Amino acid sequence: MARKKFTVFNLLELDLKGYDALELRCIGGRNGLMREISNSDINRPGLALSGFFDFFMSDRVQLFGKGEVAYIQKLEDELTDSSLETFFSYAMPCCIFSNNREPTQEFCRLAEQSCCPILQTSLETTDFNIRLLRLFSNVFALKKSIHGIIVEVHGVGILLVGESGVGKSELALELIERGHRLVADDLVELRCVNGNTILGTGTNPLTCHHMEIRGIGIINVSKLFGVGAILDKKEIELVIRIENWNPKDNYDRLGIDLTYAHILGVKIPMEVIPVGDGRNLPIIIETAAINERLKKMGEHSARKFVHNVVKWTENGSFVSNDQWI
């Protein structure tokens, strides 16, 4: 799960659209474009520019807004650039100026001298800060690739896993035919975002919406069922393991005890569904998805059932749905 090196040049060449676009361009210090960005946080260097370098977060991207630009202009007007020289003695990834603000000539000279890239964006400081943090949360997220299928069923992101040949692709295909959506088939990438969310995508955007169906071959889901049948990414909210029915195994029949899969340090609810003759797996998966939504709303059917049975056994009464909390 080693993370690939991410440089200032990589940041510049990203082709992001819409509300993710950063609108960045390089206006100086091009010799330093291969500097690595290793920290997902962003620093506003106001204190450092004033000469206070204790706890200066030099390993972060340095973001210059209206206040910082006004201050470096004041330093140049007063011919006091000692703090700037100290500032550029640190090996920073890059300096970014928001809202098309321009650095001073002395700032540019020192940046070129120290090979520190200077970038510029037309976005407002706050907006750019939010977009860059959102990007970094994905770039620096823990990742792993596994064999499985990700589908969205009734709005719930489900990761289907199981041995090869157990019928995962055929099950996913039937779910798609019933109006649900495919995120990725075969090799999927899982990312831990914000420390508590697992986001699932395909490892290759060119092939993730294709499926291998034994006896038919490779099919293009978006061409066969339309673009409404696919998704680029989805949060994993439920893991379902499909396995061949084994009469010797003791499968859970009540569902009182919750089982979890641990993915990149995050607990995800998990169900084990055995494959047997006469089992309608698509309906079972749909029911599992709806039941998971109910659990998140505080409605745990199995526990309520057991509670009612105990109450009835004790005194011949039970708790109605309206009375249950």
Give the residue numbers marked as catalytic.
147, 168, 186, 253
Task: Tell me the C-alpha to C-alpha distance, in Å, between residue 55 and each of 19, 46, 58, 63, 129.
Answer: 33, 12, 9, 16, 21
Read off the DSSP letter of residue 36. Answer: B
CA distance 93 to 38: 8
How much helix, strand and coil, in percent to the nearest 5, is found in the chain?
A: 35, 25, 40
Neighbours of 32 (CB within 10 A): 22
Distances (CA, A) of 91 to 51, 72, 196, 222: 17, 19, 32, 47
Q: Comparing C-alpha atoms, which of 68, 245, 261 is closest to residue 146?
A: 261
Distance in angstroms (rounded) separating the CA atoms of residues 113 and 135? 29
Q: Distances from the Cα of 104 to the Cαs of 61, 70, 100, 110, in angstroms? A: 19, 10, 13, 10
3-class DSSP state for residue 212?
Answer: strand
Q: Which residues contact 213 (CB under 8 A, 6 or more apart)?
A: 169, 170, 173, 219
User: By the 8 A CB rule, do 284 and 171 touch?
Assistant: no
Q: What is the DSSP string of 289-318?
A: HHHHHHHHTT--HHHHHHHHHHHHHHHS--
How many residues appear in the chain?
325
Distance CA 203, CA 183 (A): 11
